[in-house]
Structure 1
């Protein structure tokens, strides 16, 4: 089990971006969430294989994809807004992201091994609800802390 910590001050603008966005991107898990599907797709009673073949998002009802963050593991572990258009970094170069404490390449020496211990060896993207940020702020927390294990994620308050 590991706890990923993100400074509230570093992710505030991303939360505002996600909240203000008119459209949101779905991560892989959300493609399989029937609550986000268009009604006509639900009626087809499709298999997971069919959903996988529809990953262009044509089966999703864009109005149902909630605002939030993507928790990403690739070059380190970081949060980013799922809002569209993509949230640009303050310097205009690349995407606006915030790395978890101790998991930033080029800064943290052990980031690669620590990321593998926390989230496994594969790259991944998971949805984090905006409500977790809101609850952390309401409770006066300085960090959004997410407890992860190989089966689940939960907010730490």
Structure 2
């Protein structure tokens, strides 16, 4: 789940690095790069305050949080018209919800 080659389970990685983004943990063909979807408030090329936002909401250190596909699929199945995934982090949990805009 949290690293390639370890406990291969389908899902997403929530990554705090240069910005905050989600990406699939699925294997790609050699030479391909994963699709990366940045948080609206935390894209290093689109928001001048991205570093402060990342530090405040994700933490000062880089990191990865694994989100299991089995948590996501029922959420998406209930709202096929959703346009945004809302991710809220607390000290102990990741809360997921969908938004339709």
Pairwise TM-score range, normalised by the shorter structure: 0.7 to 0.9
Distance 1:138 1:126 in 2: 24
Output the TM-score relative to the length of structure 1.
0.52
Counting strand residues as a fraction of each chain, which structure ranks higher?
2
Match for 1:136 among 56, 71, 76? 76
1:3-152 correspondence to structure 2 within 5 Å: 26-27=1-2, 62=7, 65-85=8-28, 94-134=33-73, 135-139=75-79, 140-152=81-93
Which of 1 and 2 has greater Rg? 1
- Structure 1 residue runs of 5 or longer lacking an equivalent are 1-25, 29-55
1:156 corresponds to 2:74: no
Shift of the 86–113 alpha-carbon distance from structure 1 to 2, 3 Å rule, reads farther
Counting helix residues as a fraction of each chain, which structure ranks higher?
1
Superposition RMSD on alpha carbons, in Å? 2.6
The size of the alignment, in residue pairs, is: 96
Q: Check conservation: 2:28, 2:34, Cα contact below 8 A.
A: no
Distance 1:108 1:121 in 2: 17
